[in-house]
Amino acid sequence: MERLKRRQDFVAAARALYAAMPGMVVQMRSRGDEAPPRVGFTATKKIGNAVVRNRVKRRLRELARLQLAGQARPGHDYVLIGRAPTFARDYSDLEKDLVSALKRLHRTAQAGADKGTP
């Protein structure tokens, strides 16, 4: 799965749909094309030092590799934002959070909502 790297892609995703879960926040933006889905990862300094932030991003990357690859829709950008509980949260709970967030976002996208948690 292709990665988001440019700041403008992250900013555009921040203005789109999102779902806040206990372990992470997932943002989803439709690009309006049929290109493969892209994914980006963010962990702010609020959650801890560099070691903690890097571990959180590694956990999110692995979740995306296993879960998002099969559920992501073509033509969409996804951003996974780590929260403080992401570091210590059980991996199976993080998987459930991601699956639940994706279901919400895809359901809301079909309903035609423009922003907000479903």
**pLDDT recorded at residue 116:** 52
The vertex-82 CA angle with 24 and 49, nearest 5°, equals 150
For 49-76, write each residue's pLDDT tens digit. Answer: 999 999 999 999 999 999 988 899 999 9
CA distance 109 to 65: 22
CA distance 82 to 61: 11
DSSP code at position 48: -
Q: Where are the domains of the chain?
A: 2-104
The structure's pTM equals 0.88
The CATH class of the 2-104 domain is alpha beta
Helices 50-63, 91-111: axis angle to 10 degrees equals 60
Pick out the chain residues at pLDDT < 50.
113-114, 118
